[in-house]
Amino acid sequence: MSERDPVVIAETPRLLLRSWLERDRDLFREINADPKVMEFFPFRRSHAEADQLMDRVNGMIRDDGLGFYALELKETGEAMGFCGLAPANMPEIFPIGTIEIGWRLATRFWGNGYVTEAAEATLTHGFDQHGLPHIISFAVAGNARSIAVMRRLGMQHRPDLDFDSPRVPDTHLHLKRHVTYQRLRPAAAAGDIG
C-alpha cells in the first residue's frame, strides 16, 4: 500500500472514498471489533483477521474498482469507516454477479449523515462507472439505522428477496432474518433482479 497514491473512487463535499492506506489500519481494526458497530454481526474480528480483510478489500479495489472503500473526512484527512460495493457472494440467495452496497462507521462519527452522503456517491459510481443495472443492500431485520439509510437513498424494500442468512449460526437466531432493499440504475427498470 502506498501512502502517496491511493485509488480515489469518489468525492463528495465532505468526504473522499478511496483505497485503504497503511495509516488506516487501526481504524479498520476498531470498526471490526467494536461491539456497537458490530451489533448485528455474530462475530468480531481480531486484529489479524481485520488486517487480512483490509488487505483483501484493498486488492479488490485496485483490481476492478469494487470493494469497501475507505471513507475519509476531507477536513481532517482521517478515515472514519467504509462504504462500498462488493459482490454479494451468496449464490444460495442472490444470482451470481449481484452487487451489494455496504457501510460501517466508527461510532464517534455517527449521526452526521456521512454514510448517506457516501452511499449516494457510491451508488452513482456503481451505476455510472460499472454500468450496474441494480444494486442491493441487506441488513438484519432489526437494524433500524441501516434500514433508515437504505430508505433515505431511495432504495425499495424487496420482501420477495428477504432471507434467513445461512452465514449466521443458529446460536444467534435474532440475527438470522435479513431484509433486502434495491435501487435500479436510472432508466434501467428492466435490470431488476427477480
Whether 44 and 32 have beta carbons less than 8 Å apart is answered as yes
Statement: 8-191 belongs to CATH 3.40.50.880: no
Residue 173 pLDDT: 86
pLDDT (tens digit, 9 = 90+) per residue, 155-168?
Answer: 999 999 999 998 88
Output the nine-digit C-alpha cell for 150.
437504505
What mean pLDDT value characterizes the chain?
A: 92
Whether the predicted pLDDT of 142 surpasses 80: yes
pLDDT tens digit sequence for 57-111: 999 999 989 999 999 999 999 999 999 999 998 999 999 999 999 999 999 999 9
CB 160 within 8 Å of CB 167: no
CA proximity to 83, closest of 123, 52, 110: 123
Cα–Cα distance measured from residue 120 to residue 45, given in angstroms and rounded to the nearest whole number: 28
Other CB atoms within 10 Å distance of the CB of residue 73: 16
**Residues contacting 138, CB < 8 A, separation 6+:** 88, 100, 161, 163, 178, 179, 180, 181
* Interval 103-139: pLDDT, tens: 999 999 999 999 999 999 999 999 999 999 999 999 9
Residue 28 pLDDT exceeds 90: yes
Tell me what pLDDT residue 187 has. 77
Strands 156-157 and 8-11: unpaired
Residue 67: its H or E element = strand 67-73
At residue 42, the pLDDT reads: 83
